[in-house]
Amino acid sequence: MDTITVRLAKAKDAPLLPAVERSAAQVFLQLPDLAWIANDRVQTEERHLELIEHGAAWVAVNPEDIPIAFLNGKWTDQDLHINEISVQFNYQGKGIGRKMMNAAREWAESHGCLSITLTTFRDVPWNEGFYRSLGFTTLKSSELTMTLNAVMKEEADAGLPIEQRCAMSLRLQ
């Protein structure tokens, strides 16, 4: 994967990112209880543009500079909160997600963030376990910030099975 480069996302990438997310979600077809995610809504082009302009957004691109993965989030409470990381289905399992998380970590550290937070599925192998391998810890409900509580509520309202979700944090510096 030496030919894959991670860079900050640009407005020109936004129209391509919903298709990347849709492709990435196909991995959920392996899990009968979560297979519906493969056909669920994805972030819109407009949402991507907003995060590119006001948040933190990266893409992994092939040698032709076409996005094959993205990671986006926002800076909240002195933390970088990861909204989404998606790797096109045929590129999964090749270290691209790890490469993108490393870029986000470097950015967060250089911008004075205290931690990186995210929410994810507990028992999905490429979710909680992956983030633990990067040094994230799973938070107890009593450890959730107001921001993380709000994110978890939004996820429940959007139909995600909240009992299968968790919030995680990686302390920086």
pLDDT at res. 83: 93
The DSSP 8-state label assigned to residue 158 in this structure reads T
Number of structural domains, the chain?
1
pLDDT at res. 75: 86
Q: Tell me the residue range of the domain where 10 lies.
A: 5-171
CA distances from 30 to 37, 82, 92, 95, 158 (A): 11, 24, 14, 20, 21
Could you tell me if 126 and 136 are in contact, meaning their C-beta atoms sit under 8 angstroms apart? Answer: no
- Model confidence at 26, pLDDT cuts 50, 70, 90, reads very high
Interval 115-140 mean pLDDT: 94
Query: Above 90 in pLDDT, residue 126?
Result: no
pTM listed for this prediction: 0.93
Comparing 13-17, 53-57, 140-144, which segment has the lowest mean pLDDT?
53-57
Query: In the chain, what percentage of residues exceed pLDDT 90?
Result: 83
pLDDT at res. 66: 97
Reported in sequence order, the residue ranges of 3-89 that DSSP labels E, i.e. its strands, are 5-8, 56-61, 67-76, 79-87
Interatomic CA distance for residues 137 and 148, integer angstroms: 14
φ/ψ bin of 87: left (φ > 0), alpha (ψ from -120 to 50), beta (otherwise): beta
Please provide the size of the chain in residues. 173
Q: Is 33 helix (H, G, I), strand (E, B) or coil?
A: helix
Span 138-172, pLDDT tens digits? 999 999 999 899 999 999 998 888 999 999 999 99
Mean pLDDT over each residue of the chain, to the nearest integer = 93
Q: Is 170 helix (H, G, I), strand (E, B) or coil?
A: strand
CATH code, 77: 3.40.630.30
pLDDT at res. 78: 87
Interval 53-61 mean pLDDT: 92
Could you tell me if 119 and 83 are in contact, meaning their C-beta atoms sit under 8 angstroms apart? Answer: no
